[in-house]
Structure 1
Amino acid sequence: MTESLLSLLKNSWILLRSIAVISCSGTTITSTTLPIFLYYSVSDSRLLLVFLLLIFGAFLIHGALTHMLNDFTDHNSGTDQNSPAILSGGSRVIQTGVISARGLWLLGKWLTISLSLIVIGLIIFDYYKIALLLAIGIWGAVSYSLRPLLLSYRPFIGEWLSLFPSVLILGIAGPWLLLESIPEWALQNTLINALFCMAWVMVHHIPDREADRQASPVKKTSVVWAAEKFGKPFSRSPALLYFALTGLCAVWLGGDRIWATLGTLAVASVAIFLVLKMQVDNHHQVSMYEKIILILAMINGVWLGIFI
């Protein structure tokens, strides 16, 4: 009994890819709820409730639903089977026999249906804000990995129409639910964290570019597109683009948030240095730098939350 429970917890952790969820989604939530805790008169119990609700939602949508659908689709196209599978290549729950592709699809399908029904229920009972937050999360997961859209298989469109709005709304959610209006610092923090997250995803795709090219249909990520268009060394260019945009957003912070500005510029500069330095064919090195970038994402998100 104990061994079965431990096995279930281990496999669930693997499927959720919890480190990525914590580093990206969890950091985005923290970056916009921490200032409310530090500088606003909101009851601790209410703040904690909203924070835990958003964290639960992040694991449910970005962890469970997104990865169920993405793993199923990438298994069917063949890209996960050919991936170096260090940090990329899906959760590997299908490839290692933890669950069948059909079983994972059924879980993802029924979770999508259940969450959609919850959205309808929330609308009926006038919980419009939470309904919108959940609906955008569902849209991100479904549009990214399922036909007819399958946006993860299209360069740039996938991250901008699926990933970006899903992370953006998650960051805005805390202030939107807790305060009368969304402060400028919340929009700034959320945009910077979302761009940083997109840049990390581009690094994440670098080791998979050959597997993605061999997939059927071809998984033409921004990384694959850049490598085919300009050559293999340019597979790092989408990540560089989004890290550069992250740094440019620091200008928006301006002199009023000078410490936040300097922190974001420093973190973005280190990330750009790592991407420029990495050897795109050295999958172990890319994965090691990817781990460092995840740590930088967490540092930057908390830093932005402290200095508003």
Structure 2
Amino acid sequence: MPVLRTGFTLLRLIAVLFSSVAAILSTMLPLYLYYSIPSIDLLRTLGLLLLGTVLIHGFLTHVLNDYMDSISGTDMDSPGILSGGSGVVRNGDMTPEALQRIGRLSIGVTVAIVILFLMLGFTKAAILLTIGLYSAVAYSLPALRFSYYPLLGEWAATFPAIFFIGIGGVWLVMETPPLWAIQNASIISVLCIAWIMVHHIPDRFADEQASPPKITSVVWTKRTFGDTYSRLPAILYFALAASLCIWLGAERMTAALGLLCLSVFSILIVINLNIDDPEHVSSGEKQLLLITWIAAIWLGIFI
């Protein structure tokens, strides 16, 4: 059915699978492997996290982002393959006005669910849902619209969303999240931000010409240092991920060495990207997505 196909396209499950779900995997896997928590509790928690991820990250975040980027014009001019929004407006499947109505309804429903959770005493779930709602709204909608500013899109919206969905499962089943959970959620969040910087590379000219201009960290670097340096934000974020090996320390040496190798390999991929070829950039991005999942599994095994 056309409606179902359009809804599925809006979810952009690739982005969800290799970011929020990867963060969940990195922290839930150790609970299955090394803790004596009843399986039914872990499955219930995992199901709740995945449902929230699909509804907030997959649906609401992308509805709002598609709406804002369609009216600013950047999605309409993007040559990206994996980037440039879901394409539902560009392909004529939906109008910006329809996305706006759906976004408003979704925000209202999410607020109602938060209130219901609080009334029922599910405080932790309400907090996690509130953070997801904040990140979705703050990333795309005025007056915050953090995705249109360098650094803010990554640190004021993307990082908290991925970090808290990553640590959320551990927090729901344990009184206090252990250090390994905080480390895993933080590292996967940084790796996701790094591949998102690659995701922005094919869109840099369309973002720059949008109204208002979408000055991502990629666009800012391009403007400041020249187009060749559009890959620099991704390199710096992968370098940041590599530096977190120090945080893991001797107690998680195997995890640290794996993270270091994956980060260095990712940097080499970014360095060798032909940034003027959207297909080549998308091919490199797919490799980085896979590396993020490998990192999530590796960190989840070696705690």
TM-score, normalisation: structure 1: 0.96
In 1, the alpha carbon distance for the partners of 2:8 and 2:200 equals 21
Q: 1:230 aligns with which of 212, 217, 225?
A: 225
TM-score, normalisation: structure 2: 0.98
Q: Identity of counterpart residues, as a percentage?
A: 47
Aligned-residue offset at 1:10: 3.1
Match of 2:186 in 1: 191
SS of the equivalent of 1:138 reads helix
Q: 2:95 aligns with which of 87, 92, 100?
A: 100
In 2, the alpha carbon distance for the partners of 1:132 and 1:257 equals 30
SS of the equivalent of 1:285 reads helix
Q: What CA deviation, in whole Å up to 9, does each residue of 1:254-288 have, x standing for no partner? A: 12111111111111111100111112111111110
Q: 1:211 aligns with which of 206, 214, 224?
A: 206
Which segments of 5 or more consecutive residues in structure 1 lack a partner in the other structure?
none
RMSD between superposed Cα atoms in Å: 0.9
Aligned-residue offset at 1:160: 0.4
Runs of 4+ in structure 1 displaced over 4 angstroms?
A: none
Instruction: Specify the code of the residue in structure 1 equivalent to 2:116.
Output: G
Aligned-residue offset at 1:153: 0.4
Q: 1:284 aligns with which of 253, 275, 279?
A: 279
Q: What CA deviation, in whole Å up to 9, does each residue of 1:192-241 have, x standing for no partner? A: 00000000111000000000011000000000000000111111111111
Q: 2:146 aligns with which of 134, 147, 151?
A: 151
Instruction: Specify the code of the residue in structure 2 equivalent to 1:230.
Output: F
Matches within 5 A, 1:168-179: 168-179=163-174
How many residues align structurally? 303
Which segments of 5 or more consecutive residues in structure 2 lack a partner in the other structure?
none
Aligned-residue offset at 1:12: 2.4
Matched, 1:180 2:170: no
Aligned-residue offset at 1:125: 2.4
Match of 2:290 in 1: 295
Aligned-residue offset at 1:8: 3.8
Matches within 5 A, 1:1-308: 4=1, 7-308=2-303
In 2, the alpha carbon distance for the partners of 1:242 and 1:85 equals 21
SS of the equivalent of 2:89 reads coil
In 2, the alpha carbon distance for the partners of 1:259 and 1:215 equals 45
In 2, the alpha carbon distance for the partners of 1:202 and 1:77 equals 20
In 1, the alpha carbon distance for the partners of 2:159 and 2:212 equals 23
Instruction: Specify the code of the residue in structure 2 equivalent to 1:233.
Output: T
Q: More displaced, 174-183 or 36-45?
A: 174-183
Instruction: Specify the code of the residue in structure 2 equivalent to 1:290.
Output: E
SS of the equivalent of 2:214 reads coil
Aligned-residue offset at 1:85: 3.1
In 1, the alpha carbon distance for the partners of 2:76 and 2:42 equals 43
Instruction: Specify the code of the residue in structure 1 equivalent to 2:282.
Output: S
Instruction: Specify the code of the residue in structure 1 equivalent to 2:123.
Output: Y
Aligned-residue offset at 1:11: 2.5
Contact 2:128 2:164 (8 Å CA) reproduced: yes
Contact 2:80 2:278 (8 Å CA) reproduced: no
In 1, the alpha carbon distance for the partners of 2:19 and 2:75 equals 22
